[in-house]
Structure 1
Amino acid sequence: MEYESLDVADVVRLTPQVFGDERGFFLETFRQNEFEKYCGPYHFVQDNHSRSTRGTLRGLHYQFKRPQGKLVRVTRGEVFDVAVDLRRNSLTFGKWVGVHLSETNKQMLWVPPGFAHGFYTISEVAEFQYKCTDYYAPGDECCIRWDDPDLSIQWPMRNANEVIVSEKDSKGNFFSCTEFLF
């Protein structure tokens, strides 16, 4: 596995070594001791799997009192995945980083606790899987608007009017109006 630190502090792109032949492929998606060496001493307690259609944008989600770290990957299709640093004492507070994750590149993204996270579905369908460092707590989830002008995230969409968001996500807060505990 190759671990690459990105432009926002503590966010890491993981690129697995893929062994393939005419039968298919094999890759290792997680190894605790290597993950701790490059990303920190985190342990995962919950795995999640979502399916989204083209144009779906999920996020930008974060947990207020029980922040989750997420190790994310795409097993079908392609998404543009975004992490926004919400840690007030970080040198990259308020900065974002985005990467393309797909079934083809098989890359993963480590999004540490204290970040907002979201993704935009580029392919016709995408299946998105992720490991979490804390359990989902519905009453603790918060959302920042995906189109927040202060963040200016460069989503790879042709037309913002074609974006599909949940009712909850459409009512997200603006970054400048958001509270952070971390």
Structure 2
Amino acid sequence: MEFQKGEIEGVIIRPLKKHIDERGWLCELFRQDEIEETIMPVMSYISQTLPGIVRGPHEHKEQTDYFAFIGPGNFKIYLWDNRRDSSTYGNRQIIYAGEDNPAVIIVPPGVVHAYKNVSTKPGLVFNSPNKLYAGWGRKEQVDEVRWENKENSPFIID
């Protein structure tokens, strides 16, 4: 399958504002009054990605990811709409976010996603998905389709 450039239905991009003062800065990542109940986070984690490294591509069948890219570091985020019932099926979207452009990117189930650290320094990414990793007590199958090691994957990172 060949993907064309375009926005993807259901992906939400929300700019983040850093409130800066003499102590440093503060940035709200999410507020309950600004998130639909169906995508309300149930856990969160932080990861560090080294310069030039890619995480993904992968997708979830049921999970919505709530990524916050605020720095340090800048990222190139790749999204592919792999949902046959979506009005934007077959679209590919690229977003730049991080230290220079703080943003939340909400990725619905069925949208394949990956990100690459395009900085010269390690970058941090926060995620607050709406499903528990491996379910309650880590006793369920992980909701993840990993494309990065599949031969002839249509999800190409440049």
Q: Give your verdict on TM over 0.5.
A: yes
| Residue matched to 2:137 | none
Q: In 2 relative to 1, CA 175–31 (structure 1 residues): closer, same or farther, beyond 3 Å?
A: same
Identity over the aligned pairs, expressed in percent? Answer: 27
| Residue matched to 2:18 | 18
One-letter identity of the residue aligned with 2:44: D
One-letter identity of the residue aligned with 1:174: S
Query: Which consecutive residues of structure 2, in runs of 5 or more, have no partner in the other structure?
Result: 1-5, 135-140
| Residue matched to 1:158 | none
The offset of 1:174, in angstroms, is 2.1
Q: In 2 relative to 1, CA 172–56 (structure 1 residues): closer, same or farther, beyond 3 Å?
A: farther
The offset of 1:79, in angstroms, is 0.9
Aligned residue pair count: 142
Give the TM-score normalised by structure 2.
0.77
Give the TM-score normalised by structure 1.
0.68
| Residue matched to 2:68 | 73
One-letter identity of the residue aligned with 1:127: L
| Residue matched to 2:3 | none
Query: Which consecutive residues of structure 1, in runs of 5 or more, have no partner in the other structure?
Result: 1-5, 145-168, 177-182
Matched, 1:41 2:44: no
Looking at secondary structure, tell me which structure has more helix per residue. Answer: 1
| Residue matched to 1:50 | 47
Q: Can you list the C-alpha shifts for 1:2-30, whole angstroms capped at 9, x where unaligned?
A: xxxx8211111111233223332222211
| Residue matched to 2:125 | 128
| Residue matched to 2:107 | 111
Q: In 2 relative to 1, CA 88–139 (structure 1 residues): closer, same or farther, beyond 3 Å?
A: same
* SS across alignment from 1:9: coil
One-letter identity of the residue aligned with 2:16: P
Q: In 2 relative to 1, CA 52–18 (structure 1 residues): closer, same or farther, beyond 3 Å?
A: closer
* SS across alignment from 1:89: coil
Q: Can you list the C-alpha shifts for 1:24-65, whole angstroms capped at 9, x where unaligned?
A: 2222211122122xxx6322122122111111111111134x
Q: Can you list the C-alpha shifts for 1:100-145, whole angstroms capped at 9, x where unaligned?
A: 111232211111122111101111211111111112235542123x
